[in-house]
Amino acid sequence: MKNDAALLIVDVQNDFCPGGALAVPDGDRVVEPLSRAAGFFSAAGLPVLASRDWHPPVTTHFAPYGGAWPAHCVEETSGAAFHPALRLPEGTMVISKGNVPDTDSYSAFDGQSADGKSLADLLAALQVRHLYIGGLATDYCVRSSALDARRAGLEVTLLTDAIAGVDIVAGDSEKALDDLGRAGVMFGTVDEVIRLISG
């Protein structure tokens, strides 16, 4: 059993899923594999962390105020809630990001837990050396979080069947995966990872 691993679920929120304000095509396909992964990590005594975009109503991240995106994941709204079918185990650590009005904060490493700890500090305190990442969106917050995890010196595995991309420009997600591979990120499906960690 690998005991230095943790799972990071990135931004599996209503607004990034079909019907949401900034829906990722097929975004909800990540919900089942991530729920399964979270159940496994938790049962194995390994940390589960879930990041969420948590924006104020007025932020330069949103198009009306100079940003690139329609308003989405406004704090305390139903659009900012985790997808209702996402099963987050008891003890899941929630990391909120994007709550500073003049930042984009794509990366979960820009966020903080409810008690104000950075993700990097939390992972260090938990002695996590290997972060397994899935969620939304491949070409933005997943990419940015995985790159920051590498910069923080962590081993990183991307859960290939638990990600989905925006692809505003066709090919963005593929390019993101190339960037991540070059940064030393490894790739595996949820089932492969469960087998590997159990072994």
For the annotated catalytic residues, the residue numbers are 11, 97, 141
Residue 148 near ligand VGL by CB under 6 A: no
Instruction: Tell me which amino acid residue 98 is.
Output: G
Write down the H helix ranges in the chain: 31-43, 119-125, 143-151, 172-182, 190-198
Of 15 and 47, which CB lies nearer to ligand VGL in the complex structure?
15
> CA-CA distances (angstroms) from residue 65 to 57, 59, 101, 111, 147?
10, 6, 10, 22, 27
Burial (CB count within 10 angstroms: exposed 0-12, middle 13-18, buried 19+), residue 171: exposed
CB of 113 to ligand VGL, least distance (A): 18
Of 40 and 106, which CB lies nearer to ligand VGL in the complex structure?
106
CB of 62 to ligand VGL, least distance (A): 10
Residue 136 near ligand VGL by CB under 6 A: yes
Of 154 and 166, which CB lies nearer to ligand VGL in the complex structure?
166
Sequence-ordered list of residues with C-beta below 8 angstroms from that of 135, at least 6 positions apart, any chain? 8, 9, 10, 11, 12, 30, 34, 51, 141, 142, 162, 163
| Binding residue for ligand VGL, selected from 8, 17, 40, 53, defined by CB under 6 A | 53
CB of 179 to ligand VGL, least distance (A): 14
CB 127 within 8 A of CB 145: no
**Residue 8 and residue 92: Cα distance in Å, rounded?**
10
**Residue 67 and residue 4: Cα distance in Å, rounded?**
38
Residue 49 near ligand VGL by CB under 6 A: no
Residue 82 near ligand VGL by CB under 6 A: no
| Binding residue for ligand VGL, selected from 9, 11, 111, 156, defined by CB under 6 A | 11
Residue 69 near ligand VGL by CB under 6 A: yes
Of 35 and 145, which CB lies nearer to ligand VGL in the complex structure?
145
**Residue 24 and residue 34: Cα distance in Å, rounded?**
16
Site size toward ligand VGL, by CB under 6 A: 11
Binding residues (CB under 6 A) for ligand VGL: these are 11, 16, 22, 53, 69, 106, 136-137, 140-141, 166
